[in-house]
Structure 1
Amino acid sequence: MKKLVLALTGTALLLAAAVTYTLSARHGTAAAEPAAAVTLASGQLLFRDTATGRVGAVPLDETTAKPQLSGLKCDRFAVAKQTAVCLAARPGTLPAITDVLVLDDHLAVRHTETVPGTPSRARVSPDGKRVDWTLFVTGDSYAQTGFSTRAGLYEVDTGRLVKTIEELPVFVGDNRYFAADVNYWGITFAADGNRFYATLGSKGKTYLVEADYRRYRGKTLRENVECPSLSPDGKRIAFKKKVGDGGWRLFVLDLASMRETELAETRSVDDQALWQDDRTILYGRENAVWAVPSNGSGAPRRLIDGAASPAVTQDPR
């Protein structure tokens, strides 16, 4: 069953810009540097160098240090435990094709899947046993904007591939939700590798879905939630929320009380935020990686320029 991405005002322009950025920024004009031996050693902030597309690293406690750049080129990158995932769009292919590279702790390729679409989001479950991704795809007949998404995952320990979670049964209250245009994106797993959250888009609305992977069913929790990111303690969701000016603002949702906290970043952020720890949230904006407190206090801090797709190699649990 094929699905719909957002049918909201301005979506076509935003998605077109995202695809253009992904395909063009990957091969920058920055001078080549010898590849460094970047690993998943703890205490690092890893990122995608936007000038070259290479995965780089700086010490988490010294983000102004000169980055080490690996030889690996990605359009999206994520890590957890001793597993990393790299989404790499194949340049010049139409329709777009992406290689999903599952990597070990030395960024060596353990497994490759080739899937249709352009990279959008990537994550690794906290236990390192699942990698998941979201891709922009074209060609769905119902997609008024011309774009749809596909969210899939790969089980690192078993080799099982789920090309799309579009058939996930979802309940709104006690009723199973059915619609031809259901679309998922932005998967985020809990520490147990079973409970996960994602955005469901349908009929011009977005919903936060909580799902049980083993039972393979989910339920909606609330509207207007996109690109969820579960906190290390498993109690809160960072997400982007559509606001009146057509942009997105960052919020944190307490899962017990369902209370939202607006974060101090007042500018539009089109990213799936990342929890550095239970107190700090990272995100990419305007060709840089930023940090902001998770409780709504403080102010945004620019951590590193020329960077996107932040990932942290430390286990805050």
Structure 2
Amino acid sequence: MSEYKSEYRKKLRELTESKAYTVTLESEIQKLYKKAIEFDLDLKHQQEIEELRAKTTGLNIEFIRDYLCSDKNAASVNMSGVVIGIQGDGPWGVIEFQKFLNQKDFNVVNITDPGVRYIVLGSHNVDDEELNQQIATSIEEGFDLRIYSQELFVAWLITGVNPLEEWLEKDLLESVREHESLQYVIDSTQFPWPQLVDHASMKRSYEVKTFEWDGSLSEESPLRKMGYSVQAGALSIQERRAILRQAYTSSGLNKFLYSSHDLERWGQPNTAQRLYAMSSLITWLANFQGPTKPAAREKWISDLRWLKESFYDSKMKFWPVR
């Protein structure tokens, strides 16, 4: 009887060890499988990058691009401090393109970052789900979203002319005819690419309706609600300018306009009325609060100067006097 028990214990021990070994093997197999998949994906991506480089010719060659942009940076196109989302490869690999933009002082993030209002897409390898998410957010929250191909964005950097504002629609569409990612945007999403600036509407908006600021209006202003502040340690100059740019060029400020009177006072994006409201508010702050806050006044005056240099058109025929 003891012989059977001994044999039983032996087999039970072997079975237990076998189960433990099986669990270990399964764990190792899962790890190896994951690594194999990752290796295959990395290899596939690397092969695609190499193929991309082999096909990249003419002005898309990195050396030529870098030469043409040698004296250009984010400040050249008034984009200092503005968040830019990038994704996808083509004509340049996304890692190389991000490095290029970082060297030009652009603030580069993923396209799903909450602060993204500008997106630059490679021709392929774009995550459709993430792109759709940002497009849906822009529609739900009512802010303007600008989507560029890598080539269009670099053309803007080289020339200083924003294609989405200055090019004809037919030329924009022709420029992305073989751009897989932007064709997806055009054909498969609710996004109306290209979103062009309505110059005719802008020409009709040079006249402004003036009004007087007071303490209560300034304290509750949409500009303040968007986060604009000159308090010590609150925002960097780049962050202030980014908020001012967004307030003027996008509809993000509109969600703080609660009445028809508010809308009349602040106007629509990219109009003289919007610029008048912003500049007159900052002028009022500089004049009435500035004498007791010299550091703040210096920032307000600096921001006024930047607003005028960036957005003022002489046809608007106004600018507040300090």
Q: Where on the TM-score scale, by shorter chain, does this alignment land: which range?
A: under 0.3
| Greater strand proportion | 1
Question: Which one scores higher on RCO, CA 8 angstroms, separation ≥ 6?
Answer: 1
**Structure with bigger gyration radius:** 2
